[in-house]
Chain A
């Protein structure tokens, strides 16, 4: 029970007549890397938004660190972080300035050493004084991860962290994430459309479709249960049919 670092119960979000997430329930254990997967419109983004407190649930409960998110949002945000390929740090500030600002937002009064260590970890120490807008997409992704590691998060929410990266950099980013996960026991909730990456990164995956969980288990369990060759085939089947071929056999 105490190992359940994230616990979601009967989480529902309606936007007017549309139900984006319907009575969703799952939990994540400390140190786990869980993939939240599904085609566009499945409810992944809405779920992540609600986990970050950006969107209010219509009903249901989110507990993180055994605290109710609705009533302890800032306390929880202090201990988690988020990185997405779709948001950026201000391009006209230098790398140091950006990380210094976010260091302070996370309550680190003198973050210089922390920034330096993180840039070393992500193998981009040379960019510290460069303007962020001048970085390559690979460097930007790693800078976003530096920002996400600033507060030593216990939970990291990653929204397609390797989108738009070349295979070499994507591999480096994955290795860094795996190292951080192993060394610090960080819990990760991961969304990606790269199923090979999900197979490599995630201990467990949750497939969503139309706001509901349609499959849950290790990547291998899901592949086996669906009698497919890979997670990618499962994804394609879900995206085209809205349901899994052998859903009845799952779980």
Chain B
């Protein structure tokens, strides 16, 4: 099993080494995001020191986004280059495929966090490490939610084919307004706050602001809630993916997807 997972991870890593566009996806867009929001924060910061939270939000958001994209882009790439059937007719299990793409999620999230964290410190003297030990559970929570979103996205792409490709980039932005990424939950209308608190990402962004503004520790219940929701969504995501994959095999869509 490990050899096969290693093979899949290698396949995805080779791609990043060979493709400027894919490497750019790890470095270029996150850095552009950071620069835009960094300068906005610098401008707003003159009047409001809360604005620096935006930089933390940008870094955290990119971790979530890259984690989701690691799953969806890894498999989408194989669809685009008509390699997906080669993978599905090999003895690789869906579980191994998911593990490999999740490993890619970890690699991309770590690179994103380190690059953006370093740049934020160098350019804007914003120190993400000042969050302290809580940084780790925050990042893990975002990674897990990214995996869950990735599974759902990938299931939809397998089922609906290339016409659903926009979901690769679209799904994370569907949850962004309700995750209180750039503003506190309290600015949302009451009914939307209920939606917001159903998302593990909301607890991370709220927690980050709490820790950065007040310093110190965070109520562990918040983290526990975030992780419980993550487990729930991961289970739902895995079941949904499994069900969709079964539907795809039932309807014979895999070949269409692999040869179109």
Spell out A's residues near B (CB within 8 Å).
13, 15, 20, 45-46, 49, 52-56, 74-75, 77-78, 81-82, 84, 86-94, 97, 100-109, 131, 147
Chain B proximity of A78: nearest CB distance (Å): 4
Given contacts A87-B82, A90-B15, A103-B7, 17 further A-B contacts (CB under 8 A): A13-B252, A15-B252, A52-B88, A54-B85, A54-B88, A54-B249, A55-B249, A56-B250, A90-B78, A90-B83, A92-B18, A93-B14, A104-B3, A104-B7, A104-B8, A107-B4, A108-B3
Smallest CB gap from B250: residue in A = A56
User: Is B3 in contact with A93, judged by CB distance below 8 angstroms?
Assistant: no
User: Is B249 in contact with A81, judged by CB distance below 8 angstroms?
Assistant: no
Residues in B76-93 with C-beta less than 8 Å from chain A: 77-78, 81-83, 85-93
Question: Looking at chain A's contact residues, is the secondary structure mostly helix, strand, loop, or mixed?
Answer: mixed
Cα A90 to Cα B252 in complex, Å, equals 23
Contacts of B87 in A (CB 8 A): 105
Smallest CB gap from B7: residue in A = A104
Cα A139 to Cα B97 in complex, Å, equals 29
**Given the known A-B contacts A54-B254, A102-B7, are A82 and B89 also in contact in the complex, defined by CB atoms under 8 Å?**
yes
Show 24 residue pairs from A and B whose CB-CB distance is below 8 angstroms, ordered by the A residue.
Answer: A15-B251, A49-B252, A49-B255, A52-B89, A54-B88, A54-B252, A55-B252, A77-B91, A82-B86, A84-B85, A87-B82, A87-B83, A87-B86, A87-B259, A90-B11, A90-B78, A92-B15, A92-B18, A101-B11, A101-B14, A104-B7, A105-B7, A106-B91, A107-B3
Chain A proximity of B251: nearest CB distance (Å): 7
Cα A20 to Cα B251 in complex, Å, equals 11
Residues in B236-260 with C-beta less than 8 Å from chain A: 246, 249-252, 254-255, 258-259
User: Is A105 in contact with B82, judged by CB distance below 8 angstroms?
Assistant: no
User: Is A56 in contact with B249, judged by CB distance below 8 angstroms?
Assistant: yes
User: Is A93 in contact with B18, judged by CB distance below 8 angstroms?
Assistant: yes
B232: Cβ under 8 A from any A Cβ = no
User: Is B83 in contact with A88, judged by CB distance below 8 angstroms?
Assistant: yes
B10: Cβ under 8 A from any A Cβ = yes
Contacts of A54 in B (CB 8 A): 85, 88-89, 249, 252, 254-255
B125: Cβ under 8 A from any A Cβ = no
User: Is B7 in contact with A101, judged by CB distance below 8 angstroms?
Assistant: yes
Residues in B92-112 with C-beta less than 8 Å from chain A: 92-93
Residues in B30-60 with C-beta less than 8 Å from chain A: none
B213: Cβ under 8 A from any A Cβ = no
Spell out B's residues near A (CB within 8 Å).
3-4, 6-8, 10-11, 14-15, 18-19, 77-78, 81-83, 85-93, 246, 249-252, 254-255, 258-259
Cα A121 to Cα B208 in complex, Å, equals 59
Contacts of B77 in A (CB 8 A): 90
Cα A75 to Cα B91 in complex, Å, equals 7
Among B8, B11, B91, the most chain A Cβ lie within 10 Å of the Cβ of B91
Contacts of A86 in B (CB 8 A): 82, 259
Cα A52 to Cα B87 in complex, Å, equals 12
Cα A53 to Cα B254 in complex, Å, equals 10
Chain A proximity of B78: nearest CB distance (Å): 7
Cα A77 to Cα B92 in complex, Å, equals 9
**Given the known A-B contacts A106-B90, A107-B4, A131-B18, are A45 and B250 also in contact in the complex, defined by CB atoms under 8 Å?**
no
Contacts of B92 in A (CB 8 A): 105
User: Is B249 in contact with A104, judged by CB distance below 8 angstroms?
Assistant: no
Cα A104 to Cα B258 in complex, Å, equals 21
Smallest CB gap from A46: residue in B = B252
Closest 10 CB pairs of A and B: A104-B7, A55-B252, A101-B11, A105-B90, A77-B91, A78-B91, A92-B18, A74-B91, A105-B7, A54-B254
Cα A105 to Cα B8 in complex, Å, equals 7
Contacts of B11 in A (CB 8 A): 90, 93, 101
